[in-house]
């Protein structure tokens, strides 16, 4: 039986709570589908920084580098900052993204039956994926910006042909695997940019066009980022796969989460050619930490994404079946409507939701 080494970073705030529930569901999947995950829990994050002055030791980074995959809860606390004002969570997530070349931030946007959206009409469905360029764009200059006497501050946006080509190709390959957008099943990749104003984004679009020519079976589409925030509210059913630069994709992915019940329903994967990290899109929510109130669904679904990625990488169909089983178990629990956390209209605890998903997974035929 194949064993998979999983580096687990529970992190800060609610991170350990939601990670525990994801592991609970993954354990149920192991028993049912017959594979083995060997977890190695790491102490990295803002709380460690406050204790020791180091957010992530080199030894832990090396463990992540050697692992088959990384599962993370949430990193960061508002008060844990470097002298220049930056939160220390970047010492973990940016180090892993940039160091392991996790260039594709994959953020599924799915409205599950039984979850209420703040949008008035969702009858046409919401089921698309935002693909975020993770290692270039404006965030690439996060430690190289300039602040002169507290009077002038600059950051530089960085886009390379290699980087834009890789993320665009990833988006089109993903579209080929999906069933298309909800309305008509059309496979389509939307390029979100600001090509009408900034030369860097015009470059992004030009490279997108070059790559798109290699995928005649997938349609092209464009949206300026300001208009995209409008379209995500008025016509989210129009989208299948969306690709964008680092900062723009970061912003529109949070907006997309709001349309499907909030960040507690928003899983994500940071994926490269050799390595991958999976985590919920939400932060550490320290105001509710330790109270068993957080929604673990995003982390559970991130675990499902992890299994699917491992399945593709290692050609292990059991993992893909398990990923599909977890997704179906989540759907079954949400349809019942009586097990849900407060953020999506219920009164259940974090652990009760985890228990329910694990039980639903085990009971599936």
Please list, in sequence order, all residues whose beta carbon lies within 8 angstroms of the beta carbon of residue 291, skipping any fewer than 6 positions away. Answer: none
**Catalytic one among 4, 33, 61, 139?**
139
**3-class DSSP assignment, residue 347:** coil
Sign of the dihedral defined by the CA atoms of residues 165, 166, 171, 172, in that order: positive
Measured CA distances, 353 to 112, 244, 310, 345 (Å) = 15, 33, 25, 13
* Other CB atoms within 10 Å distance of the CB of residue 152: 8
Choice among 65, 186, 194, 320 that is catalytic:
194
327 assigned to active site: no
Neighbours of 124 (CB within 10 A): 14
Tokens 């039980």 sit on residue? 359
- Inter-residue contact 204 to 192 (CB < 8 Å): no
Q: Is 254 a catalytic residue?
A: yes
Question: Is 68 noted as a catalytic residue in this protein?
Answer: no
103 tagged catalytic: no
Of 43, 101, 155, 254, which residue is the catalytic one?
A: 254
Residue of 285, 287, 292, 294 whose CA lies nearest to 343? 294
Active-site residue among 184, 209, 226, 317? 226
The answer to whether residue 250 is catalytic is: yes
131 forms beta bridges with 106, 243
What are 106's strand-pairing partners? Answer: 131, 269
Q: Are 283 and 14 in contact (CB under 8 A)?
A: no
How many Å is the Cα radius of gyration of the chain? 20
Identified catalytic residue from 12, 91, 250, 343: 250
State the catalytic residues.
139, 194, 226, 250, 254
């Amino acid at each position: 039986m194949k064993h998979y080494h999983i580096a687990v970073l529970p992190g800060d705030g609610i991170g350990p709570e939601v990670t525990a529930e994801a592991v609970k569901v993954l354990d149920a999947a192991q028993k049912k589908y017959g594979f083995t995950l060997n977890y190695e829990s790491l102490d990295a994050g803002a709380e460690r920084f406050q204790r020791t002055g180091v957010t992530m030791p080199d030894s832990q980074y090396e463990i992540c580098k050697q692992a088959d995959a990384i599962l993370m809860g949430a990193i960061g606390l508002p008060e844990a900052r470097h002298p220049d004002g930056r939160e220390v969570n970047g010492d973990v997530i940016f180090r892993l993204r940039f160091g392991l070349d996790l260039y594709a931030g994959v953020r599924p946007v799915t409205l599950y039956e039984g979850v209420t959206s703040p949008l008035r009409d969702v009858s046409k469905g919401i089921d698309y994926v935002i693909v975020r360029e993770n290692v270039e764009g404006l965030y690439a200059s996060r430690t190289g910006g300039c602040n002169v006497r507290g009077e002038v501050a600059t950051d530089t946006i960085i886009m390379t042909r290699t980087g834009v080509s890789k993320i665009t190709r990833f988006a089109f390959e993903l579209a080929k695997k999906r069933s298309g957008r909800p309305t008509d099943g059309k496979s389509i990749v939307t390029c979100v940019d600001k090509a009408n104003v900034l030369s860097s984004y015009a470059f992004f679009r030009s490279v997108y066009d070059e790559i798109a020519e290699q995928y005649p079976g997938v349609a092209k589409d464009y949206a300026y980022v300001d208009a995209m925030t409008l379209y995500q509210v008025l016509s989210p059913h129009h989208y299948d796969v969306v690709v964008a630069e680092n900062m723009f994709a970061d912003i529109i992915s949070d907006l997309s989460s709001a349309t499907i019940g909030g960040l507690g329903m928003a899983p994500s994967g940071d994926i490269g050619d050799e390595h991958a990290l999976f985590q919920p899109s939400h932060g550490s929510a320290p105001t509710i930490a330790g109270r068993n109130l957080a929604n673990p669904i995003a982390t559970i679904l991130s675990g499902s994404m992890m299994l699917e990625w491992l399945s593709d990488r290692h050609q292990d169909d059991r993992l893909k079946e398990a990923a599909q089983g977890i997704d179906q178990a989540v759907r079954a629990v949400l349809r019942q409507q009586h097990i849900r956390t407060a953020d999506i209209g219920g009164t259940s605890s974090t652990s009760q939701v985890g228990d329910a998903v694990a039980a639903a997974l085990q009971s599936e035929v």
